[in-house]
A and B are shown apart, each in its own frame.
Chain A
Amino acid sequence: MKLNKSCHIYGLFQQPMSIKSIFAFVLLLVFQSARAEGEAAPDFIRSIGKIYVVAGVCLIILITLFIYMIQLDRKISRIEKRQKNE
């Protein structure tokens, strides 16, 4: 008897669905999605699967290397200037 009951619950949607059960399902969904909307949206850097973190990391690497290259360039220019003067 008990086994039958549980099988009935379990197979609720595997048997041809009654209109009533579909209605209950949709009602549950509406209720839950309304609750989910109250949550705060993720901040900018964590949006789209945190892709901006990757962008940030690449930018840090590139900017640091560029700054270093600029410094090196200026150092070489200074040496060239000195060489010219001599």
Chain B
Amino acid sequence: MLFPYVQGFPPKDTCYLYSHMNRILTLVATEARIELRERYAISGIVLYVLSSAFIVFSIWRQLPPKEWGLTFWVIFLFCSLMAVLKSFGRESEGRYFYYYTLYHPLELFVAKVVYNLILLLFIFLVLWFVLYVMAGNHIIRMGWFLTTGIMACTGLSFLLTLITSIAIKTQQNASLTSVMALPLMIPLLINILRLTAYASGTTPDENPWNEMMLLSSIISLVIGMSLWLFPYLWRS
């Protein structure tokens, strides 16, 4: 009963799932096409990352490894908030109504999440590159940091998409998104920071699997809850 729309699973013909995937991919592609058509959108994100990184580094000048990780995630958080908010705020009421009649909420949600995930991964890589150039690389275990980054992007894109979809239904969506999302990000962030500390070799803790397990369980909680709640919240 949790997902009334997907009650028919497993589908008798595999075409069913395939068509879902297709529709979602079409949505993502549309989304991306719109974003890329407006040239300033993507360059705006890159510029945002650059300028915030520049401000932070002109204050710090030299970053020890521990502060490197903290700064990275602080900049990343605010950039991702901005980016997700922008991708939602762009759309008009009319378009939502149009989507609502065409697609199932879950399709819409997954499409949004996938699009935001790509956006966040892009920000992650850009930011990593910028910090690499400006402050040097303090990451010893690249694989761990990359995994952490991918997991963080996944968790945050689900969380931010859900929260933004709540916030756009209110009068003051921009400030409410950050007010509602930031405290909820903290459990994710604590684990991400610990894993980053491990990746940069600043903690004596040599068993990161506990953190990884906790992070993945929190992320799966976020995913499960948001998939359950989005269709309910989307109705209006």
Contact between A and B in the complex (any CB pair below 8 Å): no
List residues of chain B with CB under 8 Å of any chain A CB. Answer: none
